[in-house]
Amino acid sequence: MVEYNTAQEVEKDAAYKKELVELLYQLADDDFILAFRGSEWLGIAPHIEEDVAFSSISQDKMGHAVIYYEMLEELGEGKADDLAHLREPKERKNAIILEEVNGPGNYLEEPEYDWAFAVVRNYFYDISKAIRLSSLKNSSYKPLAQVAKKMILEQYYHLTHWNMWFTQLINATDEAKKRMRQAIDKVWKDFDGVLTLGPSAKEMARLGLIKEEQELKDKWMTEIKEVFEKLGVELPTNDGPGMERGDGRNGEHTEDLTTALQTLSEVYKVDPAAGW
Amino acid sequence: MSLFAFDSLTEEEKYDRFLERINAGEKIEADDWMPDDYRKQLLKLIPMHGISEIMGALPEKEWVPKAPSLRRKLAIMSKVQDEMGHGQLLLRVAEDLMRPLGKRREDIMEDLLTGRLKFHNVFHMEAPTWGDAGVIAWLVDGAAIISQTMMLTTSYAPYGRALKRICAEEVFHAQHGEAIVMALAEGTDEQRQMLQDAVNRWWESLLMFFGPDTSKRTGNSNQDKNIMYKLRTKSNEELRQDFLTKYIPRIHSIGLTVPDETLHYDEEEEMWVYQQPDWDKFKQIVSNNGPRSQARLRLREISHENNEWVREALGKKQTMQTASV
Ligand SMILES: [Fe+2]
Ligand SMILES: [Fe+2]
């Protein structure tokens, strides 16, 4: 199987480059938008200790997005900052569930944010991210394999953090149970959007960029089943989560992404050519 | 003196011993005997400082998701996180001091929301542009560094230890602020204007930051007491002078001005002469009547309300994670 050590080497293999770029956009956009949602929580988490911990996790996620965007820059896709701030919603590859607002209100005004949703979304996401990273460790694109190895170390702490919250809340008070149940059902409806690798998943696997989509999905399901069984909680369905609102990998998105992009690029767009 | 001998002293003798100790430069630990009045002063100072760190995260928080590049997004996230961390550190010091009085962290939160506990004047103000995010980190943190460094020698050891950690991080905050400010100062006309407007907006608040020069202006004598208890070594005015000495040249050197035509250094008096801020306005602002006081308090309140179920759930499953504000 082919292996590439640098962005320059990839230049001569157009078919490979196309899939690599596609995968990197998915990875970058997922981490970027979820880190953005995390940053909106800053200052209003359930307690100060959590504010500090959650913020540290969001920074790691944003840091990972930066690494992926910089890899794309190296591959000639344009400036990392432009990729993060200027691309239109339809060009974005992130999963729809990751762009969803944290709850009613706005981060500046009356943020009625839902902590149960934050816990479930982040927990499910970080399980899937850990699985994905451990596959990327063996990617045929060696720069990606290298960074995956580093990210896995951080990922362990994130996973532990969300696992602790999930475990603590799911069997606590009646209200906590109810809210967690609602959050699980909500995330479940669209979480397949995270697990999918989009229309060219097969090609990505064939080129050794990442493992087969189905294999990664099965791993995720196995882990989730184990957690749910251990905690005595029922799965919403036995055949895996859905993709009710569409496939973000295909550029399908909701209004939530449009407003998020407006916010996060508000200052940058004043003058993208200026130094900030 | 043995513990037994100390216990047999009268309150007055204990008080004298206490003053001897701090005058000799000894540090007081949380479990040491201390006069009620000393505890009272600490409980004015430390919860106010702690809650100001937390409320101080809010104006910059407004700019975290909007920071204009990936690098700045990471930097400002980390900066605001540090401020929350400072709040956490200080509230823990305050909790130890409150314990003998039967009070807890929740009481601090309640005092904040009812207006009994005040937070720093600067954090009641608006931060309408990215320029404000730069000026806050550069000059507000710069002012904080000056007052916190002065308190490093505080007679209360746990506070001193917290301040040591805080000051180490503040250096990075000021650098972060300087980097934002420099980028704007060297940028387009629009960027420079954004920066100058922010400096103009913050100037009066920065002068107010150190408090009035004498107790007469606001009728408050804590300054003198705090100097006697070795909680601080410099007066408000000395700190403000230090600030002007450090920052006026820097502000001018990047081509910015301050909105005070009377400002100058008087060589004979060896001090800065400046237009006094409106101290009545200051009193209004710290009484939660500043332009953003209510909106920011509302953010804390709504977080408190929204997460009540989380606190209840954690209360049932008692862990280290339960400390809440
Ligand atoms: Fe601070
Ligand atoms: Fe700071």
State the total domains in chain A: 1
Q: How many CB atoms lie within 10 A of CB A91?
A: 12
Shortest distance between the Cα of B324 and any Cα of chain A, in A, equals: 5
Shortest CB distance from B70 goes to which of A40, A42, A81? Answer: A81
Q: Is A198 helix (H, G, I), strand (E, B) or coil?
A: coil
Contact B307 A276 (CB under 8 A): no
- Using one digit for the tens of pLDDT, what is the confidence trace for A14-44? 999 999 999 999 999 999 999 999 999 999 9
**Could you tell me if residue A208 is inside a domain?**
yes
Rounded to an integer, the average pLDDT of B151-164 is 97
DSSP state of B68: S
**Could you tell me if residue A160 is inside a domain?**
yes
* Binding-face residues of A in 69-98 toward B, CB within 8 A: 69, 80-81, 84-85
**Alpha carbon distances (Å) from A14 to A19, A79, A136:** 9, 20, 21
**pLDDT bracket for residue A110 (50, 70, 90):** very high
**Could you tell me if residue A157 is inside a domain?**
yes
pLDDT higher for B9 or A181?
A181
- Using one digit for the tens of pLDDT, what is the confidence trace for B246-293? 999 999 999 999 999 999 999 999 999 999 999 999 999 999 999 999
Residue B225 pLDDT? 83
CA triple A234-A240-A242, angle to 5 deg = 110
Q: Over 70: is that where the pLDDT of B217 sits? A: no
Q: How far apart are CA B163 and CA B89, in angstroms?
A: 9
Q: How many CB atoms lie within 10 A of CB A2?
A: 11
**Could you tell me if residue A132 is inside a domain?**
yes
**Alpha carbon distances (Å) from B196 to B134, B205, B256:** 11, 15, 6
Q: Which residues pair with A152 in a beta bridge?
A: none
- CA of A142 from ligand 1 middle (Å) equals 41
Shortest CB distance from B302 goes to which of A56, A58, A111? Answer: A111
**Could you tell me if residue A4 is inside a domain?**
no
> DSSP string of B7-67?
HTS-HHHHHHHHHHHHHTT--B-TTS---HHHHHHHHHHHHHHHHHHHHHHHHHHTTTTT-
Residue A96 belongs to a domain with what CATH number? Answer: 1.20.1260.10
Q: Over 80: is that where the pLDDT of B125 sits? A: yes
Q: Which of A106, A260, A118 is nearest to B295 (CA)?
A: A106
- CA of A222 from ligand 1 middle (Å) equals 44
- Rg over alpha carbons for chain A, rounded to the nearest Å, is 18
Q: Which amino acid is at A122?
A: N
Residue A1 pLDDT? 77
Asked whether A168 and B314 are in contact (CB, 8 A), the reply is yes
**Could you tell me if residue A3 is inside a domain?**
no
Domains detected in chain B: 30-210+218-324 (1.20.1260.10)
Residue B323 pLDDT? 41
Contact B66 A263 (CB under 8 A): yes
Q: Over 90: is that where the pLDDT of B8 sits? A: no
Share of chain B above pLDDT 70, in %: 94
**Could you tell me if residue A29 is inside a domain?**
yes
Predicted complex ipTM:
0.95
Instruction: Extract the runs of DSSP E, i.e. beta strands, from B184-291.
Output: 264-266, 271-273
- Using one digit for the tens of pLDDT, what is the confidence trace for B17-74? 999 999 999 999 999 999 999 999 999 999 999 999 999 999 999 999 999 999 999 9
Residue B196 pLDDT? 98
Rounded to an integer, the average pLDDT of A126-142 is 98
pLDDT higher for B232 or A114?
A114
Asked whether B67 and B312 are in contact (CB, 8 A), the reply is no
A43: which 2 tokens?
Answer: 């200052």
Residue B38 pLDDT? 95
* Structural domain harbouring A188: 10-270
- CA of B81 from ligand 2 middle (Å) equals 10
Q: Which residue of A has its CA nearest to B50?
A: A48
CB pairs under 8 A between A and B: 159
Q: How far apart are CA A216 and CA A198, in angstroms?
A: 13
Q: Over 90: is that where the pLDDT of B226 sits? A: no
**Could you tell me if residue A199 is inside a domain?**
yes
Shortest distance between the Cα of A1 and any Cα of chain B, in A, equals: 35
**pLDDT bracket for residue B325 (50, 70, 90):** very low
Contact A39 B88 (CB under 8 A): no
Q: Which of A3, A78, A72, A74 is nearest to A31 (CA)?
A: A72
Q: Is A61 helix (H, G, I), strand (E, B) or coil?
A: helix
Strands B271-273 and B264-266: antiparallel
Length of chain B: 325
Contact A55 B84 (CB under 8 A): yes
Which residues, 6 or more positions from B109, have their beta carbon under 8 angstroms from its beta carbon?
B300, B304, B325
Which residues in chain A are contacts of B74 at CB distance < 8 A? 59, 62-63, 66
Interface check A174 vs B, CB under 8 A: no
Rounded to an integer, the average pLDDT of B102-117 is 93
Which residues in chain A are contacts of B130 at CB distance < 8 A? 267, 276
Q: Over 90: is that where the pLDDT of A186 sits? A: yes
